[in-house]
Chain A
């Protein structure tokens, strides 16, 4: 009886007793969810263009963030540092297309997936060699993003809004919206969708596969930079950031590997769900449940929607 009370009654009583805490949880979950959506978007773009689950997306985020901070530490203007990182991301996209994708075209998807694992370790080694392994502070304040926080009194308590979190939500949402429009309304976007549907058919109508791959990897690099900027601001810039990147997995399972709206909805479901569950049901289970709870949600979706909420249904004719 007591356990039923702990599961079905006590958490809701807590929500009512401390509504400010509940709203804080919702806000934190919303911020986290938006950033998860951004992480997932990087995976979605590359999966759409090449059918590859890009295992190196999290380390791309670390590389972008580390490079940004390192350029700034060399005395370079913060916005020029951003430009240099974008240049680096483009060079990387070009290199990946020339060295890996072009040579592995038409190979089995698993081989391409393995190549991204290899790429991950190459980037880890190179980044550590060039930038070192010492954690750094993100330069969001130097870039002009607001710091500090605001306090909104509510129900006898308060909800705190970190200004950098507000910036993260605004910028991430804008980026997601721009990319959604870019890939649905522009010629390149249509090219991407054609490549995603059928490589050979896309080639036959004159779409350059290589060009699309470079663009998509570059855009994934931009997404990685924005993700690295805000996740780095929330803790610090170190190689440990790549673990956060893997949080995109349950988001992708929920939203579908090929859907931009899916990444957004999936990110919000995970962000809000894990936060509220951890605060109100976590202590009953010994805490530290949000890591696996995200996968529980993903598993439930897998049972009923194996392609995710917005994923394309695969029909294979025998």
Chain B
């Protein structure tokens, strides 16, 4: 019996030391991916870019703080239930953060993050109200929330044609992601004097939008704003051209402005616009480093012509923000093998200003300045236009209407926590 107890203790000790060694040996950064399913084309590009960036850091710098990064993938097929299963599978493995890569999955995970003390990072997607760090200490949506983006787009429209008295068709994917800006539009319409016609596109009708565009033809809007994803985007641009809607009055959000959305249409999509915060191009030093250390060496599944595309560069940027949070956490704690709780603080200390962006090879991308209270960074966007061959940046950075968005975000954050007794907040004053 005594032998058995000693044996069990030795086995347990070995197990514990193995587990702690594995914590110390690598920085686990799981990201939920969708390489299969209807959005696979976009998902594959994003997954590759995140993995490529960390592979590049491992190859070029030996990882972060001397520890290799393990950007482990878990396949969700863009399905919320599978996303939750993936999340659960990382319990006890010391993940430094979670990257849901889907607004639907994010909404499921928001309540789990405070319990598990692992931050959730949703760059350019997720719940807008998560921008309020005091209410959502464990969620981050740098560099801007959907709501901030919408106000920047409205500012652009205002600068082009004026906004007051205008009719705007809002064409959106009928799901958590597409519906996200609706409460904001409810508030802004009477305040700013424009009218919206909301036109949802069911996921199943993404490739069959004839009716939606006939509705747009009937309503004769001055502008169309699109919150689309995947094949919905290219179909919408095709339908817009088919219904003779002027493409320079059709503007997509940052998930509707990838190369994959227009490249196949070429000149037929000329004039179409989209917001963005991550410029396209292969000349950025960071893209060149990824090509040199990863793509050229065959250490990736990335096709050679993918680096430099809008969505690829965006996911590289996502990865650099993740890496910066880890670096800040390491600085803060003085140790390399940080935890999710440390990285959460790291996210709040991020200072990706223009100088740091240049140093990292991302000059021209939207700066990300974090804080305890502000988890979105209130970043600016620019507008790009398809010239038939490539995206062209046509504006400077357009800041969000902070004075309008911030009180609404606070209101939404308060509403979110109001029916969740025991919700963990933090005091940033």
Interface stretch, picked from A71-79, A87-95, A175-183, A234-242, is A234-242
Across-interface contacts of B204 in A (CB, < 8 A): 243-244, 246-247, 291
Whether B208 pairs with A128 at a CB distance below 8 angstroms is no
- Residue B371, interface by CB 8 Å: no
B217 CB contacts on chain A under 8 angstroms: 21, 24
Beyond A128-B40, A243-B204, A243-B206, whether A235 also contacts B238 by CB under 8 A is yes
**Complex Cα gap A162–B268 (Å):** 14
Is B207's CB under 8 angstroms from A287's CB?
Answer: no
Bound Cα distance A114, B199 (Å): 37
Q: Is A283 an interface residue (CB 8 A)?
A: yes
A109-147 vs B, Cβ < 8 Å mask (1 yes, 0 no): 000000000000000100010000111110000000000
The reply to whether B207 and A241 contact each other, CB–CB distance below 8 Å, is yes
- Interface contacts beyond A28-B211, A149-B242: sample of 19 additional A-B pairs, CB < 8 Å, sorted by A: A124-B36, A133-B36, A133-B40, A135-B231, A160-B243, A160-B244, A236-B234, A239-B37, A240-B230, A243-B207, A275-B214, A278-B214, A278-B215, A283-B215, A286-B198, A286-B200, A288-B174, A288-B202, A290-B205
A239 to B36, CA, bound (A): 9
Task: Pick from B44, B198, B205, B214: contact of A25, CB below 8 A.
Answer: B214
A264 to B222: give the CA distance in the assembly, Å.
39
Interface presence of B114 (CB below 8 A) = no
Question: Which residues of B come within 8 Å of A, CB atoms?
Answer: 35-41, 44, 174, 197-208, 210-212, 214-215, 217-218, 230-231, 234-235, 238, 242-244, 260, 264-265, 303
- Decide if A32 is an interface residue (CB 8 Å cutoff): yes
Nearest-neighbour CB distance to chain B for A44, whole angstroms, equals: 21
- The answer to whether A133 touches B44, judged by C-beta atoms less than 8 angstroms apart, is yes
Question: In the complex, what distance in Å separates the CA atom of A287 from the CA atom of B200?
Answer: 6
B215 (CB) vs chain A CBs: closest residue: A279
Ordered nearest first, which 7 A-B pairs have the shortest CB separation?
Answer: A278-B211, A133-B40, A288-B200, A240-B38, A137-B264, A235-B207, A235-B235
Which of these, A18, A239, A283, contacts B38 with CB under 8 Å?
A239
Minimum Cβ distance to chain A for residue B264 (Å): 4
Contacting residues, chain B, for A282 (C-beta < 8 A): 211, 215
Report yes or no: B199 in contact with A234, Cβ–Cβ below 8 A. Answer: no
* CB <8 Å contact, B41 and A135: yes
Question: Do residues A14 and B207 form an inter-chain contact, with CB atoms below 8 A?
Answer: no
Q: Which residues of A contact B (CB under 8 A)?
A: 14, 18, 21, 24-25, 28, 32, 124, 128, 133-137, 149, 160, 162, 231, 234-236, 238-244, 246-247, 274-275, 278-279, 282-283, 286-288, 290-291
Question: Complex formed: what's the CA distance from A181 to B39 in Å?
Answer: 40
Q: Provide 9 A-B residue pairs closer than 8 Å at the C-beta atoms, listed in order of the A residue.
A: A133-B36, A134-B260, A136-B264, A234-B235, A235-B208, A278-B211, A287-B215, A288-B200, A290-B202
- Complex contacts, B244 vs chain A, CB 8 Å: 160
Cα–Cα distance between A283 and B216 once the two chains are bound (Å): 11
Find the B residue at minimum CB distance from A134.
Answer: B41
CB-nearest residue of chain A to B40: A133
Question: Please, which residues of chain A bring their CB within 8 A of the CB of B205?
Answer: 288, 290-291
A238 to B340, CA, bound (A): 37
CB distance from A280 to the nearest CB of B (A): 9
A291 engages B202 (CB within 8 Å): yes
Measured CB to CB, the closest approach of chain A to B45, in angstroms, equals 8
The answer, among A14, A18, A274, for a CB contact under 8 Å with B211, is: A274
Chain A, residue nearest B201 (CB)? A288
CA A274 – CA B217 in complex, angstroms? 17
Known: A32-B208, A243-B204, A288-B174. A135 touches B215 (CB 8 A): no
